[in-house]
Every structure is written in structure tokens, then in C-alpha cells.
Amino acid sequence: MKLISDVLIVGTGIAGLFTALNLSENLNITIVTKSTLTDSNSYLAQGGISTAYDVNDIEDFVKDTLHAGNFKNNPSIVYMVAKESRDVIDTLINFEVKFDSLNGQLLYTKEGGHSKNRILHHKDYTGKHVIDTLITKLKSRKNIKILKNSTLVDLIVKENKCLGGTFIKNNKLIDIYSKYTVLATGGIGGLFKNSTNARILTGDALSISLRYGIKLKDIEYIQFHPTALYNKTSERMFLISESLRGEGAILKNIYGQRFVNELLPRDKVANKIWNELKEKNCKFVYLDISHLDKNYIRNRFPLIYNTCLEYGIDITKDPIPVRPAQHYYMGGIEVDEFSRTSMDNLFAVGEVSCTGLHGNNRLASNSLLEGLVFGKRCSDYINKNISSQKIEVLKVDKNIDEIILENKNLFRNTLRKHRSDINDELI
């Protein structure tokens, strides 16, 4: 089957949805998801979205982001994102996203590595609330067509120019031709045994990029979140948000001793926990918030409270067993400030991209922000330039079985080469 669209967007996390909603309503857009509209890491985000508190906070926000990223970030990109953070938050509020507030004033929380409270949230299920709101908006747009349960298997390429993508749905191939294509395919947690990510995220777009020589950057930069709920059975590890620590939760070893400053950047806290697990020869440490008011805990963290109850843990009374788990990919498809990749007419936004914002350790709650700022920049660029573009249809014969096999292994093997130290964590 062949379809034609002005813009093709692959992925329905915050970056894909925000790109679609900021594109001109005169364009015809197709947005494709591998599974359902809500099967993304953005939907699972708990803590919130960081933003410069006001213009006077931009400098401190930049410093915190660079410090967490161990100064491997691109400083001009960090500054640009901090400066534009307030605008994208205002757009979300206009789209009817409701951040927690008191007497009309927004409430800001804190997480590891932030020198002040600058994280907006909706209880402890910010991602679900934001994505549900954006999906409602998306469905009201007549110019946007949604295609579910369709896996990207290949790009359609002519001389380093992207002409669209090939998808597989119910064992049938669909070629979608477009003037511009945007990859918003998310993270790589599906390649790891222990990850907080949606399991469908297996880095397919990164394998495809490797096949076409599209530039990747910082392949080795993988983030482990310090506190995923320890349990032996679940497929995806349930995240215990860093905002618990921001609100006062304490990390203790199995002997009940505190061993780390809980609000250090994520890599430092995760390393301290790994050491503790090794030294004490145990499988988890404890995160304890039971000293806070019970009603406050239940009201501020309803998702975590109820999920832990399902595992027999009452977080208003009991410490929570936690361990680090793969959480985020800072590496990815190299992009510039308009989300352009090294292939003509191909963009990448969100976790699949590498913008230089995060360095080798992302600051807490900067991921949704990155998706918003770069989604907006990508759509602005497309709105401005699309009138000069034409759809080109190409006849190509492909060995799809071979391509699917390569997609499955190419990025995974590349990762193994760059990070032999985490071989045991990979599936």
C-alpha cells in the first residue's frame, strides 16, 4: 500500500505529539505508532517537566544542567533550551494541561541535581496527564491521520534524501511518502533486562540510521535511574520517582543506615547504590518516605502509593526496596538546533535524538522539556520551509525479512561494542 502525506511523524511520545500539534493545520500529517497512542516513555513519566522558574533562573538552570551532564553537554544548546522553556510550558497550559497549583500559583518540586524547585508536575503521573491532554487535542485536528500498530522497518531514501518511511502492519507493508519525515521513536529500554521503559522501545530507528550512515552521537551515554522498584517478577521495572527524594525521602542500606546525599545528580546516586549492593552483597536498598504525613503522601504520590500497595508495600509505613535500572538514552541521532539530522528532509526529536542538552547524564525532568523545545523548533522549521518541497515516489525492491533482522541486531551490537561493561544488562 502507498500513502502520501506532507509530513510523516513516527512516534507518539511528547516530542512527536508536540511536533504534530505545532505544525500548520494546512498541512496533511500522518503520525504513526508502533503500538497504541499511549505506549511511550513520556506516558510513564512521573516527576514532571523542568523549566526556568523565571528569567532570573535561566543561568542557574544552565549551570545545574551542565553540572549534572558532567560538562559533556553543548553549552549553547543548554542555554537555548533553558531560555525557551517557559514558552513551551505556556503552550502546554494553553492546551489545557493542568499542573499542580495552590491558590492559583503553580507548585514547583525539586529533584536530584537541581539547585532549586523548578519542576512542574501533575501529582506523580505528569506524563500520563500531559499525553492524554495532547492526544485529545490531536484527535480534534482534521489534518492529522493516526496510524497505530505499525512498525517502522525502513526509510525511503534517494541520494541521502529521506522521501518517507516503510511500515509493517498486520504483516502488510505500507510505504508512506512525505516531504519531511520526523523520527520521534523514543528510547532503547526494550534492549535491557532491567529498565523503566516501555518494552516496545528497541532502538529500531537507530539501526535504520546505522544502515544509511545517518550520524549518531554519544552512543555510549546510557542513564540508569537510581530507584526502580525491586521485584523479581515484573517485565518493566516500576519507577519510584526522584520527586519522592525531592520531597524528603531518604535512601538507606539494608541495615537501615543512610549512605548518600539523595539529591545528588542521578549518576552519582546510582553509583553509590551499585557500590552498596556490591559491598553488602544484596539486591536492593531502601527508599523511605514514611516519616512524612500519610495524607500528604497519598495525595501527592497516588500512582506510586497504589502501585506499591499492589506489591504489598504501604509506603506511608514501609520503606520501598529499590535498585538502579536503565532509564534514559542520552546518545542518539545527532541533530542541530532545528532537529535536522545528517540526512536531508529527515528530523529527529525527543529521546531518539542527541541534541547535546544532556551531556553524559541527563538532569532530572529535562527529557519532556527537550521533547517540547525541539518539537516546537522542528515544526517551526517545517512550517517555514515546506512550500519549497515536493513528494517524490520511488520504486524500490526490498528484502524485508533481511531488513527486519538487521534492525533487530545492528544497534544492539553497536551498543555492545561501545559499552562492553554493561553486556550483562543487555538482553
In the complex, which residues of this chain contact ligand SIN (CB under 6 A)? 45-47, 239, 241-243, 364-365, 367
Rounded to whole angstroms, the Cα distance separating 133 from 128 reads 8
Of 378, 395, 313, 417, the closest CA to residue 20 belongs to 378
Give the Cα separation of 257 and 289 in Å (integer). 14
Rounded CA separation 378/225 (Å): 29
Nearest residue (beta carbon) to ligand SIN: 47
Q: How far is CA 172 from CA 167, 178, 243, 260, in A?
A: 8, 19, 44, 53
Pick the closer one to ligand SIN by CB: 178 or 367. Answer: 367
User: What length does the chain have?
Assistant: 427
Burial class (CB in 10 A: 0-12, 13-18, 19+), 38: middle
Contacts of 277 (CB under 8 A, 6+ apart): 283, 284, 285, 323
Return the number of the residue (206 or 269) whose C-beta is nearest ligand SIN: 269
DSSP H helices, 311-360, are none
The neighbouring-strand residues paired with 225 are: 325
DSSP string covering 13-43: SHHHHHHHHHS-TTS-EEEE-SS-TT-SHHH
Interacting residues of 346 by C-beta distance below 8 A, sequence separation 6+: 155, 162, 180, 181, 182, 183, 214, 340
- Retrieve residue 45's grid coordinates: 513519566
Nearer to ligand SIN, 134 or 304 (CB): 304
Residue among 118, 245, 266, 323 flagged as catalytic? 266
Q: How far is the CB of 366 from ligand SIN (least distance, A)?
A: 6
- Nearer of residues 166 and 241 to ligand SIN, judged by Cβ: 241
Which residue number, 15 or 174, has a Cβ lying nearer to ligand SIN? 15
Q: Which of 244, 319, 257 is closest to 288 using CA atoms?
A: 319
Q: Is 318 helix (H, G, I), strand (E, B) or coil?
A: coil
Q: How far apart are CA 371 and CA 103, in angstroms?
A: 29
| C-alpha span between 346 and 1 (Å, rounded) | 22
Phi, psi (degrees; rounded to nearest 5) at 175: -95, 125
Q: Is 266 known to be catalytic?
A: yes
Q: Which is nearer to ligand SIN, 164 or 246 (CB)?
A: 246
- Please say which residue, 340 or 362, places its beta carbon nearer to ligand SIN: 362
Q: Show which residues are catalytic.
A: 266
